[in-house]
Amino acid sequence: MSSRIQQLNNTAADLVARVSKSVVHIGNGSSGGAGTVWHPDGLIVTNAHVAQGESLWATLSDGRSLRAQVLAHDRRRDIAALSVDATGLPAIELGDSRSLQAGQWVFALGHPFGVRDALTGGVAIGTGSNWNQGPLAGMEWLMLGLHLRPGNSGGPVFDTEGRMVGISTALDGPESGLAVPIHLAKRFLQDSLRLTTAA
Amino acid sequence: MTLLTELSDTLASTVTKASPSIVRVEARRGIPATGIVWSADGIIVTSHHIVQHDEAIKIGLDGGETVSAELVGRDPSTDLAVLRTDAKDLTVPSWAKTDGLSVGHIVLALGRPGKTVQATFGVVSALGDSWVTPSGGRLDRFLQTDVVMYPGFSGGPLMDVSGSIAGLNTSGVLRGISMAVPHGTVKATVETLLKHGRVKRGYLGVGTQPVRLAEALAKQAGQETGLMVVSVQPDSAAEKAGLLQGDVIIAIGGEKMRHVDDLLTYLSGAAVDQKVDAEIVRGGKLRKIAVIIGERG
């Protein structure tokens, strides 16, 4: 029994080690945030509210700090695409946010309160656009049992296979986090960068 | 597939499987709450505290259909309410006996405050014996979890990993604590509400205070304190049984009465109209009298 739990722990640890290679820290002159390597040739996805400031710096998992340019952003949906001058970066594997079900296990990596590559795990509470609370109303979100905090914003939410399903964006209370579903990020990149990704 | 993915998929399929039996209950202002299908012919069980108006209750079914419901009855002391809809062929969920549950077991709380079923995750935090709520209702087990009770989750099921319902989640029994009313209590209360429209609670009609027993009596009775009768209500069960001011109640129905709480606990679970023996001290001597338990008005 305990060996099964140990097996679970080891699987989770391997998964997190793998995904964390794709997680970057975004410095913006104030509190900063997180971002995710979307394409090996220097394309990084984050929140629009993280990609603000005079100058942006992306610190990669290998320790390099590179100047980042904003390619496109959408403030309403809180998504931004950044570019850094690098190639061969470890891009994250993309998942399907539309097939994410309530009860499924998810994780988020980010830098809450500046703590680098901190993990939070929990289950998906619900998905879709059926939220009756104020700022959420009418928008599509992933509602997650994750402890998202300032500094998590822009980082990846991923499933048990390490596939990114959302962008950590906000908290709806101490115990529940909100993420922009990855299919909206794909659409944004397609529309704004004419970039086609395998969806 | 890794063990982790297997766990994740099992949790998600538990939610999907239970979904047809979980309904939305619109019976208050603001965010709706959740209910569980009790029988295929339209009986729904939910939390008492979320049914704030008795009229114009709406139930949101799994398929998206909304039907109206009427209140059959409620029991504030266990925070349960029963509703009736005209819906037919509803999916009845499977319920689990709490015997199979242990502290540390993984559980899910499900709710349907909106269109779809939502889930939160946790473990069983505490599992005790029979417990009396602050409002005097008796639960067959004390079942506490650390699942997050998201707004509108009250009245929804606490699921075990086999997909059975271990209890009905409520944040209305103890504030800030995720409690579940176990299946045994849900079943007993629903059946009583369907039959009588209310839950009868035992009543005696005495005012009491704990007193220390004389040494010899304490030895004889096997307890150090009893409850002295300080008042007897006219026409009450106590008066009919012949209880007098100054009597000291030692035990009722075989249960020792050491503190006032013992009497309240006993009465909350006692069957109304049942004839039981009361052991009392009168004139310095132990004696037995018969008491017929009355009903709390």
Closest by CA to B51, choosing from B32, B68, B23, B78, is B32
Question: Residue A165 has which token pair?
Answer: 């399903």
Instruction: Identify whether residues B46 and B24 lie together within a single domain.
Output: yes
CATH of the domain at B207: 2.30.42.10
Q: Which of A101, A126, A176 sits opposite B16 (nearest CB)?
A: A101
Query: Would you tell me which residues 27-46 of chain A have a C-beta closer than 8 angstroms to some C-beta of chain B?
Result: none
Q: What is the pLDDT of residues B127-139, one digit of tens each?
A: 998 888 887 788 9
pLDDT tier, B200 (very low <50, low <70, confident <90, very high otherwise): confident
pLDDT value at position B228?
96
Judgement on whether residues B140 and B262 belong to the same structural domain of the protein: no
Note whether A125 contacts B: Cβ–Cβ < 8 A.
yes
- Give the residue from chain B lying closest to A106, CA to CA: B8
**CATH (domain of B119):** 2.40.10.120
Selected residues 74-113 of chain A with any CB under 8 Å from a CB in chain B = 101-105
Give the model's pLDDT for residue A196: 54
User: Is A105 a residue whose pLDDT tops 70?
Assistant: yes
**A21 pLDDT tier (thresholds 50, 70, 90):** very high
Task: Clarify whether residues B189 and B221 are in a common domain.
Answer: no
Domain enclosing residue B57, as ranges = 1-199
User: CB-based contact (8 Å) between B163 and chain A?
Assistant: no
Q: Which of B179, B199, B219 is the last residue of a domain?
A: B199
Tell whether B73 and B84 lie within a shared domain: yes
B92 shares a domain with B226: no
pLDDT of residue B266: 85
Instruction: Specify the number of domains making up chain B.
Output: 2
In this prediction, residue A195 carries a pLDDT of: 61
Structure tokens given for B266: 């006993």
Do B24 and B75 fall into the same domain?
yes
Three-class SS state of B258: coil
Domain-ending residue, one of B199, B216, B236: B199
A159 touching B (Cβ < 8 Å)? yes
Contact (CB, 8 A) for B69 and B155: no
- ipTM of predicted assembly, 2 dp: 0.82
Residue A2 CB coordination number (10 Å): 6
Domains of chain A with CATH codes: 17-91 (2.40.10.10), 93-186 (2.40.10.10)
For residues B67-73, give the mean pLDDT: 97
Answer yes or no: do B193 and B172 share one domain.
yes
**Do B45 and B101 fall within a single domain?**
yes
Lowest-pLDDT choice from A181-185, A187-191, B293-297: B293-297
Regarding whether B231 and B193 lie in a shared domain, the answer is no
> Last residue of a domain, which of B199, B232, B260?
B199
| Number of alpha helices (DSSP H) and beta strands (DSSP E) in chain A | 2, 13
Q: How far apart are CA B23 and CA B44, in angstroms?
A: 8
Give the model confidence (pLDDT) of B254-296 as tens digits.
999 998 888 887 887 777 889 999 999 999 999 999 999 998 8
CB pairs under 8 A between A and B: 84
Question: Are the C-beta atoms of A82 and A50 separated by less than 8 Å?
Answer: no
* Distance, CA of B152 to CA of B79 (rounded, Å): 15
Query: Does B192 lie in the same domain as B207?
Result: no
What is residue A74's three-state secondary structure? Answer: strand
Mutate to test the interface with A, among B1, B6, B7, B8 (most CBs of A within 10 A): B8
- For B28-66, what is each residue's pLDDT tens digit? 998 999 999 999 999 999 999 999 998 899 999 999 999
For the cut 60, the answer to whether the pLDDT of residue A198 exceeds it is no
- For residue A54, the model assigns a pLDDT of 86
Pairing of strands B106-111, B80-85: unpaired
